[in-house]
Chain A
Amino acid sequence: MNRKHNKRNIVIYHLLSILFSLIFVLPILWALIASFRPEINIFQGISPLSFKVFSFFPFTLDNYIGVFKNEVFSKALLNTFFVATTTVIIGVIINAFAGFSFATMDFYGKKVLFSIVVASFLVPGDLLVIPTYNLIDSMGLIDTKIALILPLLGNGMVIFMFIQFFSQIPKALSEAAVIDGASYRQILIIIYAPLTIPTIIGASLIMFLAQWEAFLWPLVVSRSINNGMIQLALSTFTQQYGTLWGLKLAASTLLCFIPLIILMPLQKYYISSIASSAIKG
């Protein structure tokens, strides 16, 4: 009786899992394969439905060559890498220092300052894009890379991750070092830095993805192609006469696989950082 019951559960488990997997994989797989076909063959095999939908033939690399030759897209790709990398480097440093300070030091006004971090946590990202646009406008920074970077630097979630991490390290460790005459800088570099690498990787991924997927903010603040960002550059393949599907699918595929290639080997850091920020709830 029990064994029969188990067998049925296992079948349901696999059926459900396969169903979800197909829903996630099929669109990406189709776009990947179709992006290697010439423009007129993109939608082959859909009507009537046949195996040709998932056939690489006729094979061509023209779409990918076309995507990189496209000025708007290739510039946006470089810009996004630049903006994301800068955000990650500066953002991780400043948020890590703030987290370190909250977790290990005592100072006047700690509670008030901490409530600022919590408050920023509660404001959803895109809500204030339009007033932030006004702010950036009054600074004279519209259509600059600085405008793309600045608002994403301070990040309550990342500070929280670092607080979680630094407060896990026993205080005795740093106290012993203080007694031995070590300065705070030495403590930070010698004791904490090596332990903190997983948290840094997790924080970097979160901040990188935030810039990689940025849409509304660059839409509002960037004007010229010199400051274009990648997600918006996708629309350049939709033109007045119709959509260049081959180029659009090739660009979409690149946009999926670049973060996936970065994310997959590092996923355990990404997941544990996200989990650590949720535990506070």
Chain B
Amino acid sequence: MIKQKQKISILAYTFLLPALAMILIFKLYPIILVIKESLFKVSYLSGTKVFVGINNYMDLFCDSSFWNSVWVTLKLNLLINPVQLVIAIIMGMLININHKGKMIYRFLFFIPLGVSLAVTTIYWSIIFRPGNGVMNYLLNGLGFPTQPFFNSASQAMWIIIGIASWKGCSFWMLFVLAGLKNIPKEIYEAAEVEGVGSISSFLFITLPMLSKTLLFILVSDICANFMLFIPIFMITHGGPDSSTNVLMYQAYRTSMINGDMGHGMAMIVSLMILLSIVIAAQFKLFKDNE
């Protein structure tokens, strides 16, 4: 019997080994690597590596463009995550209603799941082309003046938000839908008998019952949007006037384009810390509300 148990253990480890090794090497070891590398300075020309301690961080903290990137990242997330969450809830609730046309809407709402962010960015860059884009023709037709869109420091971020949300909301909607399906129908029926209106049943039944799902969506969404890169890389390149220069893009540019690995790594570590603080705050807020 003991021998049998040992055999099972060995088998269990063999089953675990490949996947866990992959996760350890490619998902967790890079965390140690990024912290280690952020303490070195690599000379791009000679390739020599010198230990500089926290100097890379000191350089960043004295650099106003770094603080700008931190601010842009936070601002983008402060705007984009509530937008995506609210739209995902609305879409999930619409699709959850049993009514004629449900299957068609469901099919159409799923479409962005198959469209990559890069392709989404191309579509939107055509619609919002500053000079002769579709949106400007529509605006002109309605009597509004031509807008600069990507070329304006005040509008560029909103377009980035639009692009990421067009692609993202359908995905988060799936989780809302799964959450809604888990709410027992009897609660609504009881509420209807009691004469509770649809708005208060949404506020006092749906939202509280969904709270765990919504926290999950919010945290995952924040994780995704802290890394938002593609539309910024493809359209704005961080501009105009660094108004869309998020930390992820700045870190990419510093380490991969300028070859300054030390500073790039220090930015990634800063991004990691920033993200951890934001997510810890989310959980704390959630706990306090419970």
Q: What residues make up the interface of A, taking CB atoms closer than 8 Å to B?
A: 9-10, 13-14, 16-17, 20-21, 23-25, 27-28, 31, 43, 46-49, 94-95, 97-98, 100-102, 105-108, 113, 116-117, 119-120, 123-135, 150-151, 153-156, 159, 184, 212-213, 215-216, 219-220, 231-232, 234-235, 248, 252, 255-257, 259-260, 263-264, 267, 270-271, 274-275, 278-279, 281
Contact = CB atoms under 8 A, between A and B. Distances in A.
A28 B111 contact: yes
A256 B252 CA distance: 27
Contacts of A24: 108-109, 111-112, 166, 170
B268 A130 contact: yes
Interface of B: 5, 8-9, 11-13, 15-16, 18-31, 33-34, 37, 90-91, 94, 97, 99, 101, 104-105, 107-119, 122-124, 126-127, 132, 134, 137-138, 141, 166, 170, 174-175, 177-179, 181-182, 198, 212-213, 215-216, 223-224, 226-227, 229-230, 233-234, 248, 251-252, 255-256, 261, 264-265, 268, 271-272, 275
Nearest to A272: B178
B31 A128 contact: yes
Contact of B20 (A31, A116, A213): A116
Given A10-B99, A28-B115, A116-B23, A131 B123 contact: no
Nearest to A245: B126
Given A27-B124, A116-B24, A278-B216, A127 B268 contact: yes
Contacts of A271: 174, 177-178
A219 to B, nearest CB: 8
Contacts of B119: 231, 234, 252, 255-256
Contacts, number: 241
B110 A128 contact: no
A21 B95 CA distance: 11
12 contacts: A48-B137, A48-B141, A113-B16, A119-B28, A123-B31, A128-B27, A131-B268, A154-B21, A154-B24, A215-B230, A232-B118, A259-B116
Contacts of A46: 132, 134, 137
Contacts of A231: 116, 118-119
B-side interface mostly: helix
Given A131-B268, A135-B25, A275-B174, 20 more contacts: A20-B108, A49-B137, A94-B19, A98-B20, A101-B16, A105-B12, A105-B15, A106-B8, A117-B20, A120-B23, A130-B265, A131-B265, A134-B37, A154-B18, A184-B8, A215-B118, A215-B230, A259-B114, A275-B177, A278-B179
A124 to B, nearest CB: 4
Contacts of A14: 101
A21 B23 contact: no
